[in-house]
């Protein structure tokens, strides 16, 4: 089941003709220039990619104007599309780090800390 952020769209805003190459570039995280150059080389050598380009131009939906709120979000979703398992591992590692830091803070405040106790007493 695809969410709007993991679907391939035509990117008319950044596109030159139908926005297919810009959409592929946005989907994969590759620079649009390289996708366009690849498309030109494939079209010259094989011929049929231009038909696939035109077909994709008519079948793909337009990219919603406010799909991403920031460049960081764009980069995150490109990572999700490229390797969902790697993204899940990275998130898990971040959460473990946050959990470890939170446990350190909790240990500091819950343990017998004479300096902290003295400071609290001085405030009373």
Q: Which residue in the block uniquely carries the two structure tokens 């003295």?
A: 118
The pLDDT score that the predictor gives to residue 84 is 75
User: Residue 3: which pLDDT band, with cuts at 50, 70 and 90?
Assistant: low
pTM of the model as a whole: 0.56
Residue 1 has pLDDT above 60, yes or no: no
Smallest CA-to-CA distance from 55 within 1, 104, 10 is with: 10
Average pLDDT over residues 32-49: 88
Residue pair 32/14 in contact by the 8 Å Cβ criterion:
yes
Q: Which residues contact 74 (CB under 8 A, 6 or more apart)?
A: 26, 68
d(CA 60, CA 92): 33
Quote the pLDDT of residue 5: 62
């Amino acid at each position: 089941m695809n969410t709007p952020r993991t679907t391939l769209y035509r990117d008319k805003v950044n596109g030159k003709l139908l926005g297919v190459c810009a959409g592929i570039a946005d989907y994969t995280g590759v620079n649009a220039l390289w996708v366009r150059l690849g498309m030109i080389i494939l079209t010259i050598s094989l011929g049929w990619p231009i038909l696939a380009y035109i077909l994709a131009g008519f079948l793909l939906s337009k990219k919603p104007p406010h799909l991403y709120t920031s460049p960081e979000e764009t980069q995150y979703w490109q990572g999700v599309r490229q390797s969902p398992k790697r993204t899940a591992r990275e998130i898990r590692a971040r959460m473990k780090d946050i959990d470890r830091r939170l446990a350190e803070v909790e240990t500091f405040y819950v343990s017998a800390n004479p300096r902290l106790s003295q400071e609290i007493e001085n405030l009373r």
